[in-house]
Homo-oligomer: A and B are copies of this chain.
Amino acid sequence: MDQFLINKDSAVPLYLQIYTQLRQAILQGVLPPGSRLPPTRRLAHQCGVARLTVTEAYSQLKAEGFITSRQGSGTYVSDSLPATAHIPRHLLPETQTPLSAWGERVMSTKPRVERPLSPRPPIDFGFGRAFHHIFPYDIWRKLLDRYLSTDDAMLSRYGSVAGFDPLREALAHYLGRLRGVVCRPDQVVIVSGAQQALDILARLLLEAGDEVLMETPGYVDAYAVFQAFGAQVAYLPVDNAGFPVESIPADSRARLLFVTPSNQFPKGGTMPLARRMALLQWAQNHGAFIVEDDYDGELRYDGRPLSALQGLDKNGRVIYLGTFSKVLFPALRLGYVVLPPELTEPFIQAKRLVDRGAPTLTQAAVSDFINESHFERHLRHLRAAYGKRREILVQALETYLPDIVQYSSTPAGLHVMLFLPPQVEETAVIHKAAQAGVGVYAGARYHLQQPAPPSILLGFSGLSEEDIEEGVRRLAGVLRGGGNSEG
Protein backbone atom coordinates (compact mmCIF):
# COMPACT_ATOMS: atom_id res chain seq x y z
CA MET A 1 0.00 0.00 0.00
CA ASP A 2 2.33 2.75 -1.15
CA GLN A 3 -0.24 4.18 -3.49
CA PHE A 4 -2.25 6.35 -1.07
CA LEU A 5 -3.71 9.38 -2.73
CA ILE A 6 -4.15 12.06 -0.11
CA ASN A 7 -5.58 15.41 -1.11
CA LYS A 8 -5.41 17.91 1.72
CA ASP A 9 -7.45 20.49 -0.21
CA SER A 10 -10.43 18.18 -0.63
CA ALA A 11 -13.66 18.69 1.30
CA VAL A 12 -13.55 14.96 2.08
CA PRO A 13 -12.01 14.51 5.56
CA LEU A 14 -8.53 12.96 5.54
CA TYR A 15 -9.52 9.99 7.71
CA LEU A 16 -12.26 9.22 5.19
CA GLN A 17 -9.83 9.29 2.29
CA ILE A 18 -7.63 6.73 4.06
CA TYR A 19 -10.58 4.63 5.19
CA THR A 20 -12.05 4.48 1.68
CA GLN A 21 -8.80 3.42 0.06
CA LEU A 22 -8.07 0.73 2.65
CA ARG A 23 -11.62 -0.58 2.38
CA GLN A 24 -11.39 -0.70 -1.38
CA ALA A 25 -8.05 -2.52 -1.19
CA ILE A 26 -9.51 -5.11 1.19
CA LEU A 27 -12.63 -5.66 -0.91
CA GLN A 28 -10.60 -6.03 -4.10
CA GLY A 29 -8.18 -8.49 -2.49
CA VAL A 30 -5.17 -6.16 -2.77
CA LEU A 31 -4.99 -6.62 0.99
CA PRO A 32 -5.99 -10.29 1.38
CA PRO A 33 -7.54 -11.78 4.56
CA GLY A 34 -4.96 -12.21 7.30
CA SER A 35 -2.53 -9.64 5.93
CA ARG A 36 -1.07 -7.16 8.34
CA LEU A 37 -1.77 -3.43 8.14
CA PRO A 38 1.03 -0.94 8.79
CA PRO A 39 1.13 0.49 12.34
CA THR A 40 -0.81 3.74 12.58
CA ARG A 41 2.33 5.77 13.33
CA ARG A 42 4.11 4.58 10.21
CA LEU A 43 1.11 5.05 7.91
CA ALA A 44 0.54 8.55 9.33
CA HIS A 45 4.15 9.45 8.56
CA GLN A 46 3.89 7.96 5.09
CA CYS A 47 0.74 9.91 4.28
CA GLY A 48 1.86 13.10 5.98
CA VAL A 49 -1.16 13.22 8.31
CA ALA A 50 -1.66 13.18 12.06
CA ARG A 51 -1.60 9.76 13.71
CA LEU A 52 -5.09 10.39 15.08
CA THR A 53 -6.36 10.59 11.50
CA VAL A 54 -5.12 7.08 10.75
CA THR A 55 -6.43 5.79 14.08
CA GLU A 56 -9.83 7.14 13.17
CA ALA A 57 -9.78 5.37 9.80
CA TYR A 58 -8.74 2.11 11.51
CA SER A 59 -11.53 2.45 14.12
CA GLN A 60 -14.14 2.77 11.43
CA LEU A 61 -12.75 -0.26 9.55
CA LYS A 62 -12.69 -2.20 12.82
CA ALA A 63 -16.27 -1.21 13.66
CA GLU A 64 -17.36 -2.42 10.27
CA GLY A 65 -15.50 -5.74 10.63
CA PHE A 66 -12.93 -5.24 7.89
CA ILE A 67 -9.94 -5.45 10.23
CA THR A 68 -9.19 -6.82 13.70
CA SER A 69 -6.55 -6.07 16.31
CA ARG A 70 -4.58 -8.87 17.87
CA GLN A 71 -3.32 -8.03 21.34
CA GLY A 72 0.26 -6.81 21.13
CA SER A 73 0.81 -7.89 17.56
CA GLY A 74 -0.89 -5.29 15.38
CA THR A 75 -3.82 -4.93 13.02
CA TYR A 76 -4.87 -7.50 10.41
CA VAL A 77 -7.41 -7.84 7.64
CA SER A 78 -10.21 -10.06 8.96
CA ASP A 79 -9.67 -13.73 8.29
CA SER A 80 -13.35 -14.50 8.02
CA LEU A 81 -13.88 -12.04 5.20
CA PRO A 82 -15.58 -13.93 2.39
CA ALA A 83 -14.96 -12.56 -1.05
CA THR A 84 -17.74 -11.69 -3.47
CA ALA A 85 -16.42 -11.46 -6.94
CA HIS A 86 -18.16 -9.62 -9.72
CA ILE A 87 -19.59 -12.43 -11.84
CA PRO A 88 -20.12 -11.61 -15.51
CA ARG A 89 -23.77 -11.96 -16.40
CA HIS A 90 -23.27 -14.72 -18.99
CA LEU A 91 -21.69 -16.95 -16.35
CA LEU A 92 -24.68 -16.64 -14.02
CA PRO A 93 -27.29 -19.37 -13.76
CA GLU A 94 -30.19 -18.56 -16.10
CA THR A 95 -32.61 -16.41 -14.09
CA GLN A 96 -36.04 -15.05 -14.91
CA THR A 97 -36.34 -11.55 -16.28
CA PRO A 98 -36.21 -9.36 -13.18
CA LEU A 99 -39.51 -7.62 -13.97
CA SER A 100 -42.99 -8.85 -13.13
CA ALA A 101 -45.71 -8.96 -15.78
CA TRP A 102 -46.91 -5.62 -14.39
CA GLY A 103 -43.37 -4.24 -14.69
CA GLU A 104 -43.11 -5.42 -18.28
CA ARG A 105 -46.42 -3.78 -19.13
CA VAL A 106 -45.34 -0.55 -17.41
CA MET A 107 -42.24 -0.51 -19.59
CA SER A 108 -44.25 -1.21 -22.73
CA THR A 109 -46.63 1.73 -22.13
CA LYS A 110 -43.64 4.04 -21.81
CA PRO A 111 -43.57 5.54 -25.33
CA ARG A 112 -46.90 7.30 -24.72
CA VAL A 113 -45.07 9.91 -22.68
CA GLU A 114 -44.50 12.99 -24.79
CA ARG A 115 -41.12 14.68 -24.76
CA PRO A 116 -41.14 18.47 -24.53
CA LEU A 117 -40.13 20.28 -27.69
CA SER A 118 -36.48 21.25 -27.62
CA PRO A 119 -35.63 24.05 -27.77
CA ARG A 120 -38.88 25.22 -26.19
CA PRO A 121 -40.63 27.45 -28.77
CA PRO A 122 -41.08 31.09 -27.72
CA ILE A 123 -44.88 30.74 -27.94
CA ASP A 124 -45.61 27.43 -26.26
CA PHE A 125 -49.19 26.15 -26.16
CA GLY A 126 -48.18 23.50 -23.63
CA PHE A 127 -51.09 22.62 -21.41
CA GLY A 128 -51.82 21.58 -17.86
CA ARG A 129 -49.73 24.54 -16.79
CA ALA A 130 -50.91 27.10 -14.30
CA PHE A 131 -50.51 30.74 -15.12
CA HIS A 132 -48.13 31.42 -12.29
CA HIS A 133 -48.61 35.17 -12.05
CA ILE A 134 -52.13 34.63 -10.73
CA PHE A 135 -51.47 32.39 -7.76
CA PRO A 136 -51.31 34.39 -4.49
CA TYR A 137 -47.94 33.08 -3.29
CA ASP A 138 -47.79 35.70 -0.55
CA ILE A 139 -50.95 34.33 1.07
CA TRP A 140 -49.72 30.78 0.57
CA ARG A 141 -46.45 31.63 2.29
CA LYS A 142 -48.31 33.08 5.29
CA LEU A 143 -50.49 29.99 5.59
CA LEU A 144 -47.45 27.68 5.54
CA ASP A 145 -45.59 29.83 8.05
CA ARG A 146 -48.48 29.51 10.45
CA TYR A 147 -47.69 25.83 10.94
CA LEU A 148 -43.91 26.06 10.69
CA SER A 149 -43.21 26.84 14.29
CA THR A 150 -41.43 24.82 16.90
CA ASP A 151 -44.43 25.18 19.18
CA ASP A 152 -46.50 23.04 16.89
CA ALA A 153 -46.06 19.30 17.29
CA MET A 154 -48.31 18.53 14.34
CA LEU A 155 -45.49 18.05 11.87
CA SER A 156 -43.50 15.82 14.18
CA ARG A 157 -46.13 13.07 14.03
CA TYR A 158 -47.27 10.90 11.19
CA GLY A 159 -50.47 12.37 9.78
CA SER A 160 -53.82 10.69 9.28
CA VAL A 161 -53.85 8.23 6.37
CA ALA A 162 -57.18 9.46 5.01
CA GLY A 163 -56.03 13.06 5.10
CA PHE A 164 -55.95 16.07 7.39
CA ASP A 165 -59.45 16.14 8.90
CA PRO A 166 -60.07 19.90 8.59
CA LEU A 167 -59.26 19.63 4.88
CA ARG A 168 -61.66 16.72 4.42
CA GLU A 169 -64.36 18.79 6.07
CA ALA A 170 -63.58 21.89 4.07
CA LEU A 171 -63.70 19.87 0.85
CA ALA A 172 -66.98 18.13 1.67
CA HIS A 173 -68.50 21.53 2.32
CA TYR A 174 -66.98 23.18 -0.74
CA LEU A 175 -67.87 20.30 -3.08
CA GLY A 176 -71.43 20.22 -1.81
CA ARG A 177 -71.91 23.92 -2.26
CA LEU A 178 -70.11 24.49 -5.55
CA ARG A 179 -69.95 21.15 -7.34
CA GLY A 180 -73.22 19.55 -6.24
CA VAL A 181 -71.38 16.63 -4.68
CA VAL A 182 -73.33 14.90 -1.93
CA CYS A 183 -71.03 13.44 0.73
CA ARG A 184 -69.96 13.41 4.33
CA PRO A 185 -66.36 14.45 5.21
CA ASP A 186 -65.48 10.83 6.00
CA GLN A 187 -66.07 9.88 2.37
CA VAL A 188 -63.35 12.31 1.27
CA VAL A 189 -59.80 10.93 1.08
CA ILE A 190 -56.79 13.07 0.22
CA VAL A 191 -54.44 11.61 -2.40
CA SER A 192 -51.34 12.82 -4.17
CA GLY A 193 -53.35 13.35 -7.36
CA ALA A 194 -55.93 11.77 -9.63
CA GLN A 195 -53.24 9.41 -10.91
CA GLN A 196 -52.76 7.83 -7.49
CA ALA A 197 -56.51 7.53 -6.98
CA LEU A 198 -56.86 5.67 -10.28
CA ASP A 199 -54.00 3.33 -9.46
CA ILE A 200 -55.47 2.48 -6.06
CA LEU A 201 -58.97 2.04 -7.51
CA ALA A 202 -57.73 -0.31 -10.24
CA ARG A 203 -56.00 -2.47 -7.64
CA LEU A 204 -58.94 -2.35 -5.25
CA LEU A 205 -61.72 -3.08 -7.73
CA LEU A 206 -60.26 -5.03 -10.65
CA GLU A 207 -58.69 -8.37 -11.33
CA ALA A 208 -56.33 -8.59 -14.30
CA GLY A 209 -58.48 -9.34 -17.32
CA ASP A 210 -61.52 -7.39 -16.09
CA GLU A 211 -63.06 -4.92 -18.52
CA VAL A 212 -62.77 -1.15 -18.14
CA LEU A 213 -64.70 1.26 -20.33
CA MET A 214 -63.21 4.60 -21.36
CA GLU A 215 -63.76 7.58 -23.60
CA THR A 216 -61.74 8.21 -26.77
CA PRO A 217 -60.12 10.62 -27.17
CA GLY A 218 -59.48 10.34 -23.49
CA TYR A 219 -57.20 10.70 -20.52
CA VAL A 220 -54.24 8.56 -21.57
CA ASP A 221 -52.70 8.39 -18.13
CA ALA A 222 -55.81 6.57 -16.92
CA TYR A 223 -55.54 4.27 -19.92
CA ALA A 224 -51.90 3.56 -19.01
CA VAL A 225 -52.83 2.65 -15.42
CA PHE A 226 -55.55 0.21 -16.52
CA GLN A 227 -53.44 -1.27 -19.30
CA ALA A 228 -50.45 -1.82 -16.99
CA PHE A 229 -52.79 -3.42 -14.52
CA GLY A 230 -53.75 -5.99 -17.11
CA ALA A 231 -57.33 -4.82 -17.59
CA GLN A 232 -59.16 -5.18 -20.90
CA VAL A 233 -59.67 -1.58 -21.91
CA ALA A 234 -62.69 -0.99 -24.18
CA TYR A 235 -63.54 2.49 -25.41
CA LEU A 236 -66.29 4.46 -27.10
CA PRO A 237 -65.72 7.55 -29.29
CA VAL A 238 -67.25 10.60 -27.66
CA ASP A 239 -69.40 13.09 -29.53
CA ASN A 240 -70.00 16.75 -28.67
CA ALA A 241 -71.96 15.69 -25.59
CA GLY A 242 -69.37 13.45 -24.03
CA PHE A 243 -69.64 9.74 -23.38
CA PRO A 244 -72.29 8.01 -25.57
CA VAL A 245 -73.99 5.88 -22.95
CA GLU A 246 -76.54 4.58 -25.45
CA SER A 247 -73.70 2.99 -27.45
CA ILE A 248 -72.43 0.76 -24.64
CA PRO A 249 -72.58 -2.74 -26.17
CA ALA A 250 -75.31 -4.89 -24.67
CA ASP A 251 -72.77 -7.57 -23.81
CA SER A 252 -70.33 -5.18 -22.07
CA ARG A 253 -68.96 -6.67 -18.88
CA ALA A 254 -67.22 -3.47 -17.78
CA ARG A 255 -66.69 -3.30 -14.04
CA LEU A 256 -65.37 0.26 -14.13
CA LEU A 257 -66.18 3.23 -16.37
CA PHE A 258 -63.92 6.25 -16.59
CA VAL A 259 -65.69 9.45 -17.68
CA THR A 260 -65.22 13.24 -17.65
CA PRO A 261 -68.82 14.50 -17.64
CA SER A 262 -68.22 18.18 -16.81
CA ASN A 263 -65.86 18.85 -19.69
CA GLN A 264 -64.80 15.87 -21.75
CA PHE A 265 -61.04 15.48 -21.76
CA PRO A 266 -59.48 16.38 -24.13
CA LYS A 267 -62.16 17.04 -26.74
CA GLY A 268 -64.44 19.29 -24.68
CA GLY A 269 -68.21 19.04 -24.32
CA THR A 270 -70.57 18.44 -21.42
CA MET A 271 -72.64 15.36 -20.77
CA PRO A 272 -76.34 16.25 -20.69
CA LEU A 273 -78.65 15.18 -17.92
CA ALA A 274 -80.36 12.40 -19.89
CA ARG A 275 -77.04 10.68 -20.58
CA ARG A 276 -75.98 11.15 -16.96
CA MET A 277 -79.13 9.47 -15.68
CA ALA A 278 -78.78 6.67 -18.23
CA LEU A 279 -75.18 6.11 -17.22
CA LEU A 280 -76.09 5.86 -13.54
CA GLN A 281 -78.85 3.43 -14.42
CA TRP A 282 -76.47 1.34 -16.49
CA ALA A 283 -73.92 1.19 -13.67
CA GLN A 284 -76.60 0.29 -11.20
CA ASN A 285 -77.98 -2.51 -13.39
CA HIS A 286 -74.54 -3.94 -14.05
CA GLY A 287 -72.96 -3.51 -10.60
CA ALA A 288 -70.25 -1.34 -12.15
CA PHE A 289 -68.51 1.68 -10.67
CA ILE A 290 -68.20 5.00 -12.49
CA VAL A 291 -65.04 7.05 -11.99
CA GLU A 292 -65.99 10.69 -12.56
CA ASP A 293 -62.83 12.68 -13.18
CA ASP A 294 -63.83 16.28 -12.47
CA TYR A 295 -60.31 17.49 -13.28
CA ASP A 296 -61.37 21.04 -14.18
CA GLY A 297 -64.98 21.24 -13.07
CA GLU A 298 -64.31 24.64 -11.48
CA LEU A 299 -63.07 26.16 -14.71
CA ARG A 300 -66.25 27.02 -16.53
CA TYR A 301 -66.39 30.49 -18.08
CA ASP A 302 -70.05 31.02 -18.92
CA GLY A 303 -71.37 31.32 -15.43
CA ARG A 304 -71.78 28.70 -12.82
CA PRO A 305 -70.06 25.30 -13.24
CA LEU A 306 -72.41 22.39 -13.85
CA SER A 307 -73.02 20.06 -10.95
CA ALA A 308 -71.15 16.80 -10.72
CA LEU A 309 -72.54 13.43 -11.80
CA GLN A 310 -71.85 12.23 -8.26
CA GLY A 311 -74.68 14.37 -6.87
CA LEU A 312 -77.23 12.51 -8.99
CA ASP A 313 -76.14 9.10 -7.80
CA LYS A 314 -78.42 7.50 -5.25
CA ASN A 315 -76.85 4.05 -5.25
CA GLY A 316 -73.19 4.62 -4.45
CA ARG A 317 -71.91 3.86 -7.94
CA VAL A 318 -69.89 7.05 -8.54
CA ILE A 319 -66.33 7.65 -7.37
CA TYR A 320 -65.53 11.33 -7.74
CA LEU A 321 -61.96 12.56 -8.43
CA GLY A 322 -60.78 16.12 -7.99
CA THR A 323 -57.37 17.75 -8.10
CA PHE A 324 -55.65 20.96 -7.04
CA SER A 325 -53.16 20.75 -9.91
CA LYS A 326 -55.26 22.90 -12.22
CA VAL A 327 -56.68 25.38 -9.73
CA LEU A 328 -53.74 25.85 -7.35
CA PHE A 329 -50.52 24.64 -8.95
CA PRO A 330 -49.37 21.34 -10.48
CA ALA A 331 -46.21 20.96 -8.39
CA LEU A 332 -48.41 20.79 -5.26
CA ARG A 333 -49.27 17.12 -5.96
CA LEU A 334 -52.55 17.03 -4.09
CA GLY A 335 -55.95 15.73 -5.06
CA TYR A 336 -58.95 14.08 -3.48
CA VAL A 337 -61.43 11.33 -4.04
CA VAL A 338 -65.01 11.13 -2.82
CA LEU A 339 -65.96 7.51 -2.31
CA PRO A 340 -69.25 5.65 -1.98
CA PRO A 341 -69.59 4.59 1.68
CA GLU A 342 -68.88 0.91 0.99
CA LEU A 343 -65.51 1.76 -0.64
CA THR A 344 -64.31 4.35 1.85
CA GLU A 345 -62.68 2.05 4.37
CA PRO A 346 -61.04 -0.23 1.75
CA PHE A 347 -59.62 2.84 -0.02
CA ILE A 348 -58.18 4.24 3.20
CA GLN A 349 -56.59 0.91 4.09
CA ALA A 350 -55.09 0.69 0.60
CA LYS A 351 -53.76 4.23 0.89
CA ARG A 352 -52.13 3.25 4.19
CA LEU A 353 -50.23 0.45 2.48
CA VAL A 354 -49.38 2.48 -0.57
CA ASP A 355 -47.83 5.58 1.02
CA ARG A 356 -49.24 6.24 4.50
CA GLY A 357 -50.96 9.49 3.56
CA ALA A 358 -50.28 12.95 2.16
CA PRO A 359 -47.97 15.60 3.68
CA THR A 360 -49.68 17.35 6.59
CA LEU A 361 -48.28 20.84 6.08
CA THR A 362 -49.57 21.19 2.53
CA GLN A 363 -52.97 19.88 3.57
CA ALA A 364 -53.21 22.28 6.49
CA ALA A 365 -52.39 25.20 4.22
CA VAL A 366 -54.94 24.16 1.57
CA SER A 367 -57.54 23.72 4.28
CA ASP A 368 -57.05 27.29 5.53
CA PHE A 369 -56.89 28.52 1.95
CA ILE A 370 -60.39 27.15 1.40
CA ASN A 371 -61.87 28.07 4.77
CA GLU A 372 -60.61 31.63 4.70
CA SER A 373 -62.20 32.31 1.29
CA HIS A 374 -58.88 32.60 -0.57
CA PHE A 375 -59.81 29.63 -2.72
CA GLU A 376 -63.06 31.04 -4.07
CA ARG A 377 -61.44 34.43 -4.66
CA HIS A 378 -58.59 32.72 -6.49
CA LEU A 379 -61.08 30.74 -8.58
CA ARG A 380 -62.78 33.98 -9.60
CA HIS A 381 -59.43 35.37 -10.71
CA LEU A 382 -58.61 32.18 -12.57
CA ARG A 383 -61.97 32.14 -14.33
CA ALA A 384 -61.56 35.75 -15.38
CA ALA A 385 -57.99 35.25 -16.61
CA TYR A 386 -58.51 31.89 -18.30
CA GLY A 387 -61.94 32.79 -19.65
CA LYS A 388 -60.44 35.86 -21.29
CA ARG A 389 -57.60 33.82 -22.75
CA ARG A 390 -59.96 31.22 -24.11
CA GLU A 391 -62.04 33.96 -25.71
CA ILE A 392 -58.96 35.45 -27.36
CA LEU A 393 -57.92 32.02 -28.59
CA VAL A 394 -61.36 31.33 -30.04
CA GLN A 395 -61.50 34.79 -31.65
CA ALA A 396 -58.08 34.25 -33.18
CA LEU A 397 -59.19 30.87 -34.51
CA GLU A 398 -62.29 32.51 -36.05
CA THR A 399 -60.16 35.27 -37.54
CA TYR A 400 -57.26 33.29 -38.92
CA LEU A 401 -58.66 29.78 -39.41
CA PRO A 402 -62.40 30.21 -39.95
CA ASP A 403 -62.96 27.02 -42.00
CA ILE A 404 -59.94 24.87 -41.40
CA VAL A 405 -60.37 23.53 -37.89
CA GLN A 406 -63.15 22.25 -35.63
CA TYR A 407 -63.25 22.41 -31.86
CA SER A 408 -65.64 22.18 -28.95
CA SER A 409 -67.57 25.34 -28.15
CA THR A 410 -67.81 24.53 -24.44
CA PRO A 411 -66.31 27.55 -22.66
CA ALA A 412 -64.30 25.59 -20.13
CA GLY A 413 -60.92 24.09 -19.35
CA LEU A 414 -57.34 25.07 -20.04
CA HIS A 415 -56.89 23.98 -23.64
CA VAL A 416 -58.68 23.59 -26.97
CA MET A 417 -58.38 20.45 -29.07
CA LEU A 418 -58.37 21.37 -32.75
CA PHE A 419 -59.49 18.74 -35.23
CA LEU A 420 -57.62 19.27 -38.50
CA PRO A 421 -58.84 18.47 -42.00
CA PRO A 422 -58.52 14.69 -42.64
CA GLN A 423 -55.69 14.93 -45.18
CA VAL A 424 -53.41 16.95 -42.84
CA GLU A 425 -50.56 15.16 -41.08
CA GLU A 426 -50.42 16.27 -37.47
CA THR A 427 -46.71 15.57 -36.92
CA ALA A 428 -45.87 17.75 -39.94
CA VAL A 429 -47.97 20.57 -38.49
CA ILE A 430 -46.27 20.26 -35.12
CA HIS A 431 -42.85 20.29 -36.73
CA LYS A 432 -43.57 23.29 -38.94
CA ALA A 433 -45.25 25.18 -36.12
CA ALA A 434 -42.16 24.66 -33.98
CA GLN A 435 -40.05 26.11 -36.81
CA ALA A 436 -42.36 29.13 -36.72
CA GLY A 437 -41.69 29.45 -32.99
CA VAL A 438 -45.01 27.96 -31.88
CA GLY A 439 -45.37 24.87 -29.69
CA VAL A 440 -48.51 22.80 -30.34
CA TYR A 441 -49.09 19.25 -29.18
CA ALA A 442 -50.08 16.00 -30.82
CA GLY A 443 -53.66 14.82 -30.44
CA ALA A 444 -52.85 11.30 -31.62
CA ARG A 445 -51.73 10.05 -28.23
CA TYR A 446 -55.14 10.81 -26.73
CA HIS A 447 -56.98 8.66 -29.23
CA LEU A 448 -57.36 5.02 -28.35
CA GLN A 449 -58.76 4.11 -31.78
CA GLN A 450 -56.45 3.90 -34.78
CA PRO A 451 -56.20 5.59 -37.21
CA ALA A 452 -57.00 8.70 -35.21
CA PRO A 453 -58.38 11.83 -36.85
CA PRO A 454 -55.57 14.42 -37.04
CA SER A 455 -55.74 16.87 -34.15
CA ILE A 456 -53.57 19.14 -32.04
CA LEU A 457 -53.92 20.55 -28.55
CA LEU A 458 -53.47 24.20 -27.68
CA GLY A 459 -53.10 24.91 -23.99
CA PHE A 460 -53.74 28.57 -23.26
CA SER A 461 -53.30 28.76 -19.50
CA GLY A 462 -49.57 29.48 -19.52
CA LEU A 463 -49.52 32.19 -22.23
CA SER A 464 -50.09 35.93 -22.33
CA GLU A 465 -53.01 37.26 -24.32
CA GLU A 466 -50.71 38.73 -26.99
CA ASP A 467 -48.85 35.46 -27.45
CA ILE A 468 -52.10 33.55 -27.91
CA GLU A 469 -53.17 35.71 -30.81
CA GLU A 470 -49.71 35.79 -32.39
CA GLY A 471 -49.38 32.01 -31.95
CA VAL A 472 -52.63 31.34 -33.77
CA ARG A 473 -51.64 33.75 -36.54
CA ARG A 474 -48.44 31.80 -37.10
CA LEU A 475 -50.22 28.46 -36.83
CA ALA A 476 -52.64 29.62 -39.51
CA GLY A 477 -49.67 30.32 -41.77
CA VAL A 478 -48.47 26.77 -41.19
CA LEU A 479 -51.89 25.22 -41.82
CA ARG A 480 -52.42 27.24 -44.98
CA GLY A 481 -49.20 25.73 -46.27
CA GLY A 482 -47.19 28.88 -45.76
CA GLY A 483 -44.56 26.94 -43.78
CA ASN A 484 -42.50 29.25 -41.62
CA SER A 485 -44.64 32.33 -41.17
CA GLU A 486 -42.29 34.32 -38.98
CA GLY A 487 -41.76 37.87 -40.19
The chain A residues found within 8 Å of chain B, CB to CB, are 12, 16, 23, 27, 59-60, 63-66, 78, 80-87, 92-93, 95-96, 98-103, 106-107, 109-110, 113, 128-133, 135, 137, 140-141, 144-145, 148-150, 152-159, 177, 191-193, 195-196, 199, 203-207, 221, 224-225, 228, 272-274, 277-278, 280-281, 284-285, 287, 289, 303-304, 306-307, 312, 314-315, 325, 329-334, 342-343, 345-346, 349-350, 352-362, 462
Contacts and interface: CB of A to CB of B under 8 A. Distances in A.
B306 A64 contact: yes
Contacts of A280: 84
Please indicate which of the listed interface residues A87, A191, A221, A353 has the most CB atoms of chain B within 10 Å of its own CB.
A353
Q: How many copies does the complex hold?
A: 2
A65 B272 contact: yes
A289 B95 CA distance: 12
A229 to B, nearest CB: 9
A145 B141 contact: yes
30 contacts: A27-B314, A63-B303, A64-B307, A80-B274, A84-B284, A85-B314, A86-B315, A92-B284, A98-B289, A99-B205, A100-B204, A100-B205, A103-B350, A107-B345, A113-B352, A132-B153, A137-B149, A141-B144, A155-B331, A157-B331, A192-B355, A192-B356, A193-B356, A195-B353, A199-B354, A221-B353, A228-B353, A331-B359, A332-B361, A333-B356
Pairs A-B, 10 closest by C-beta atoms: A65-B273, A95-B287, A132-B156, A331-B360, A130-B156, A196-B355, A155-B331, A103-B204, A333-B359, A86-B314
Contacts of A274: 65, 78, 80-82
Given A84-B280, A205-B99, A92 B195 contact: no
Nearest to A362: B359
Contact of A82 (B80, B140, B281, B362): B281
Nearest to A276: B65
Contacts of A93: 285, 287
A353 B156 contact: no
Contact of A277 (B82, B132, B149, B192): B82
Contacts of A228: 353
Given A65-B273, A106-B350, A333-B356, 18 more contacts: A12-B177, A66-B273, A82-B281, A92-B287, A98-B287, A99-B204, A103-B346, A106-B353, A132-B152, A137-B149, A141-B148, A156-B329, A156-B330, A192-B356, A199-B354, A221-B356, A354-B354, A359-B362
